[in-house]
Structure 1
Amino acid sequence: MKSVKSLLAASTMLAAATAVNAADVEVTHWWTSGGEAAAVAEFAKAFEEKTDHKWVDGAIAGSGGTARPIMISRITGGDPMGATQFNHGRQAEELVEAGLMRDLTEIAEKEGWKDVVKPSSLLDSCTLDGKIYCVPVNIHSQQWLWLSHKAFADAGVDVPTNWEEFVAAAPALEEAGKIPLAMGQQPWQTTLAFQVLLTALAGPDAYTRIFGDKDAEFAGGEELAKVFEAAAKAREMSAKSNIQEWNQATSMVINGEAGGQIMGDWAQGEFQVAGQTAGEDYTCLPGLGVNEVIQTGGDAFYFPVVDDEEVAAAQLELASVMMSPDTQVAFNLKKGSLPVRGDVDLEAANDCMRKGLDILAKGNIIQAPDQLMSADSLTQVNDLFVEFFNSPDMSAEDAQKRFADLIANAD
């Protein structure tokens, strides 16, 4: 039997070893709104409860377009963080090819990620030359129209069930002093609105032909003309928004100042923080109530190559925690997104999340633009729609012609 002295000595050595192995892991991301902050706190909580390491929050205010250049500059400049957010797709492709991102294949195979990540395209987006370089953490679809029950009640009209009814209700909303469509002026918001209109009004196949196949002739054709006309109508309905951030637009819907917002399911986190209930205070229409489809975009975390052995070991533990079933549920319930695991219990899901899960189960899915088109090409598309939504004099016809030219040269 060991003596008390030897047991104490062993305990001291174990504590010392634990202290040496514990690491501070800086995690950079652009989740700074109320709902986003509540969601990312679930990651931090799980990481610190399940490991001996510390989550050092590296939130960068603004959108991904603001944060990504900062993140990339740090990694290429030799000052890598422990983990960093990117969207599913090709945003980190060049960093991976340069050998600056950690290969996670071993832990992915050990934990059977390929067996549980649904749809498989999410993990495919993390894979380059057969190796897995990131952890997909959610499925975010941008194909939603969020509607304020208060705004429509004040205007004396029924809550719309589709885009056509929403457009028809715009005059009543304006007469009641409401802004029909709330929209911020961040570049990605205007492009998002166009992509949602495209998928809803022309159909998922049309979206894929343009962003996936780069079919410039189709992009400039008659079928897409109606999408550009709808975009011009959206421009008119949102003309008096006078806001910048997406969550400011969501707040206008929450407060009943605006009738609706075209925005991804991350808006749901803002409604939750505000204490509102889906189906009672607000309505969510996937695919604008026309073509119900889920876009398999979302967020993933990459782990830059670091020299610190303790941080390197902690990176693998963080990857495992992010993919764990209980963390997936806790995070996504707060974020408003869907989990990437197909084997988790979401009994607590609200009305909007259940709509998303049902669409996903039916297989009505499309890939996100980041999975289909390079970052440079998407930036050019973004710039066009920023100009279009801020230039009432630009006709739908002129915008479509320029769009077709961009698609012809996209990669």
Structure 2
Amino acid sequence: MRYRLTTAAFAAGVVFGAAGSASATDLEVTHWWTSGGEAAAVAELAKAFDATGNKWVDGAIAGSGDIARPIMIGRITGGDPMGATQFNHGRQAEELVQAGLMRDFTELAEKEGWTKFIHPKSLLDGCTLDGKIYCVPVNIHSQQWLWLSNKAFADAGVAVPKNWDEFVAAAPALEKAGIVPLAIGQQPWQTTLAFQVILVALAGPETFQKIFGDKDATLAAGPEMAKVFAAADQARAMSAKSNVQEWNQATSMVINGKAGGQIMGDWAQGEFQVAGQVAGKDYTCLPGLGVNEIISTGGDAFYFPKQTDPEKAKAQEALASVMLSPATQVAFNLKKGSLPVRGDVDLNAANDCMKKGLEILAKGNIIPAPDQLMSADGVTQVNDLFVEFFANKELSAADAQKRFAEIIAAAD
């Protein structure tokens, strides 16, 4: 699947498919996109949906997905479903689908040929249960990135690193200049994300797949992973003075030159864009920490709880269709910093970092996201472990690795 870097799709307009509803219908859409870059991206989805004659009713929930998901699930199971709701690709909504609470979009998917243009195939597979399609993937978000402040390294008098080892080596110079080497927020998923990125970069995608996919506890406890935990220990030391909570606050530290770098998903690009920073000039991006140029095919998808109102059901179809239209895919993902799920759209306006991601995707150097391989309970246990590891210096890398291997052994 190739991405055409032309301008044609911008002029193509929005293709609705099932969007021709006769009357305007309000549809509440819940999500956890509240940072500056995220809000700009959501506005593109809302604008495209409103153009169908319906009305996007924004149901943003402040905080991370860890905070928002229980609220969303509680409303759906409690009989107060929204029109559509965000989840990440993978197994997060699996129990809701099994309980018969989510709408089946197989008919619309077949009518519009989703299997022909959604790429990679694993994105739609993550929406499929027992042969039926229950969600709409809207982007590909990879967490495999190290974002670097060019200003911070200039102020410290050292060259911008080209890989993880150079970044670690530059940490003393950054600290001497009063700059935090590595910015990490205190949200539970951020420390897990950093660990997972380090794992793929230093141990390779095969090790990642065997541990999170095959649940290989022996490998998780072995010497190869000991090197990963040693690097995570370095990350812990470099981020000790980060002292921020939200991921976008950590990104702001990089934007302002108060931190040398941040291990974060490509959604950070939205924050750089809102701040008016230019990739390659103001900041540098290293996919796979500059070691293993791999991207994960996680991201965001929308599920549609079943409705008793037939007009809302029609509006759901309109929203599902418009989210996948070429024009919406371009407008949304350029603002979000993510890659589109379509392989046939215009990305002429993509910045240098997004183009790096597109090149990696085109080569097929991809891995699934942990949410696509492990149950929500297993992911939560891993999150809890790394929150403790980064907060408690008394927890050694060796002891953390032992506990990690135990979680993997019991995971489903």
**Residues 1:337 and 1:391: Cα distance change in structure 2 (over 3 Å):** same
Counterpart residue identity of residue 336, structure 1: G
Which position in structure 1 is the counterpart of 2:411?
Answer: 410
**1:186 matches 2:191:** no
Decide whether the 8 Å contact of 2:294 with 2:366 is kept in 1: yes
Which position in structure 2 is the counterpart of 1:61?
Answer: 62
Structure 1 position 24, deviation (Å): 0.4
Counterpart residue identity of residue 162, structure 1: N
Counterpart residue identity of residue 73, structure 1: G
Calculate the TM-score normalised by the size of structure 2: 0.95
Distance 1:251 1:223 in 2: 34
Counterpart residue identity of residue 190, structure 1: T
Which position in structure 1 is the counterpart of 2:276?
Answer: 275
**1:117 matches 2:107:** no
Structure 1 position 21, deviation (Å): 2.9
Distance 1:21 1:305 in 2: 20
Deviation string for 1:234-291 (max 9, x for gaps)?
A: 0000000111100000000000000000000000000000000000000000000000
Distance 1:234 1:313 in 2: 49
Which position in structure 2 is the counterpart of 1:330?
Answer: 331
Structure 1 position 364, deviation (Å): 0.2
Structure 1 segment 136-215 matched on structure 2, within 5 A:
136-215=137-216
Which position in structure 2 is the counterpart of 1:92?
Answer: 93
Q: SS state of the match for residue 85, structure 1?
A: strand
Structure 1 position 308, deviation (Å): 1.1
Q: SS state of the match for residue 261, structure 2?
A: strand
Structure 1 position 105, deviation (Å): 0.6
Counterpart residue identity of residue 21, structure 1: S
Distance 2:379 2:259 in 1: 29
Q: Point out 4+ residue stretches in structure 1 off by more than 2 angstroms.
A: 18-21
Which position in structure 2 is the counterpart of 1:290?
Answer: 291
Structure 1 segment 209-288 matched on structure 2, within 5 A:
209-288=210-289
Distance 1:111 1:97 in 2: 25
**Residues 1:130 and 1:354: Cα distance change in structure 2 (over 3 Å):** same
Distance 2:172 2:389 in 1: 22
Which position in structure 2 is the counterpart of 1:83?
Answer: 84
Which position in structure 2 is the counterpart of 1:40?
Answer: 42
Structure 1 unpaired stretches of 5+: 1-17
Decide whether the 8 Å contact of 2:31 with 2:61 is kept in 1: yes
Deviation string for 1:128-170 (max 9, x for gaps)?
A: 1111000000000000000000000000000000000000000
Structure 1 position 20, deviation (Å): 7.5
Structure 1 position 45, deviation (Å): 0.4
Structure 1 position 52, deviation (Å): 1.1
Which position in structure 2 is the counterpart of 1:11?
Answer: none
Distance 1:381 1:346 in 2: 36
Deviation string for 1:342-379 (max 9, x for gaps)?
A: 11111111000000000000000000001000000110
Distance 2:50 2:68 in 1: 25
Q: SS state of the match for residue 269, structure 1?
A: helix
Which position in structure 1 is the counterpart of 2:395?
Answer: 394
State the percentage of identical aligned residues: 80
Distance 1:250 1:147 in 2: 10
Which position in structure 1 is the counterpart of 2:5?
Answer: none
Decide whether the 8 Å contact of 2:21 with 2:318 is kept in 1: no
Counterpart residue identity of residue 264, structure 1: G
Distance 1:293 1:19 in 2: 42
Number of equivalent positions:
393
Structure 1 position 19, deviation (Å): 10
Structure 1 position 306, deviation (Å): 1.0
Distance 2:181 2:384 in 1: 24
Distance 1:19 1:183 in 2: 45
Distance 2:308 2:72 in 1: 18
Q: SS state of the match for residue 39, structure 2?
A: helix
Which position in structure 1 is the counterpart of 2:10?
Answer: none
Counterpart residue identity of residue 42, structure 1: E
Decide whether the 8 Å contact of 2:21 with 2:314 is kept in 1: no
Counterpart residue identity of residue 369, structure 1: P
Decide whether the 8 Å contact of 2:103 with 2:304 is kept in 1: yes
Which position in structure 2 is the counterpart of 1:12?
Answer: none
Counterpart residue identity of residue 170, structure 1: A
**1:22 matches 2:24:** yes
Counterpart residue identity of residue 319, structure 2: L
Which position in structure 2 is the counterpart of 1:8?
Answer: none
Distance 1:257 1:345 in 2: 35
Distance 2:336 2:106 in 1: 27
Which position in structure 1 is the counterpart of 2:14?
Answer: none
Distance 2:104 2:406 in 1: 38
Counterpart residue identity of residue 297, structure 1: G
Distance 1:293 1:223 in 2: 19
Distance 1:369 1:298 in 2: 11
**Residues 1:375 and 1:334: Cα distance change in structure 2 (over 3 Å):** same
Distance 2:59 2:277 in 1: 29
